[in-house]
Chains A and B, each alone.
Chain A
Amino acid sequence: MEDRREDAELLAEIAEGSRAAFDRFYEKYAPMVYHIALRIVGDEAEAEDVSHDVFLEILQKPHQFDPKRGSVQAFLAVKTKSRSLDRLRKKRDLLASRLEEAALKEKGAEFYFLRQLEQQVIIDALTHLPEEQRQAIIHFYFHGETHREIAAAMNKPLGSVKSLIRYGLRNLRKQKELFRWMEAGRGEKQHEA
Chain B
Amino acid sequence: MKNSMKHSHIPEMKIVDWLLGVLPEQEKEDVSNHLKQCRECQRLLEAWKSIGLKAEAQYEAPPLSHQERIWAQAEAQKQTKRMRRGLRIAGGLISAALAVSLFALRLSVSDGGRDASHDRPSEAYRYQIIEQNHDIPIEQIIHNPETKQIPIEPSALFQQMDGTIWLNDDTKEMLMEIEGLPPFATRDYQLWIIYTNNEVKGELLTIRHGAARVLITGEDVKQFKQIKASLEPKGGSAAPTGPETFIVDLDHE
A and B form one complex: yes
Chain A residues in the interface with B (C-beta under 8 A):
4, 19, 22-23, 26-27, 30-32, 34-36, 39-40, 44-49, 51-53, 55-56, 59-60, 69-71, 73-75, 77-78, 107-113, 144, 191-193
Q: Which of the four size classes fits the interface of chain B?
A: 35 or more
| Closest Cβ–Cβ distance, residue B128 to chain A (whole Å) | 36
Q: Interface with A: B67-75, B115-123, B133-141, B165-173, which one? A: B67-75
B109 at the interface (CB under 8 A from A): no
Q: Mark B43-56, 1 if CB is under 8 A from A, else 0.
A: 11011111111000
Q: CB-CB contacts of B27-68 with A at 8 A, as 1s and 0s? A: 000000000000000011011111111000101111111110
- The listed residue (B12, B51, B61, B77) touching A30 by CB distance below 8 A is B61
- Cβ-neighbour of A56 out of B51, B60, B65, B160 (below 8 A): B160
User: What distance in Å separates the Cβ of B108 from its nearest Cβ neighbour in chain A?
Assistant: 44
With beta carbons under 8 angstroms apart, the residue of B9, B12, B53, B62 that contacts A34 is B62
Q: Considering the complex, which residues of chain B in the window 10-28 have a beta carbon less than 8 Å from any beta carbon of chain A?
A: 11-14, 16-17, 20, 22
- List chain A residues, Cβ under 8 A from B157: 52
**A70-B13, A78-B13, A193-B8 in contact; A59/B62 too (CB < 8 A)?**
no
CA distance A71 to B14 in the complex (A): 9
Q: Given A45-B156, A74-B13, does the pair A112, B44 have CB atoms closer than 8 Å?
A: yes
Contact between B52 and A70 (Cβ–Cβ < 8 Å)?
A: no
Q: How far is the CA of A19 from the CA of B74 in the complex (A)?
A: 11
B50 close to A109 (CB less than 8 A): yes
Chain B residue with Cβ nearest A40: B51
Residue B196 lies at the interface, judged by CB distance under 8 Å to chain A: no
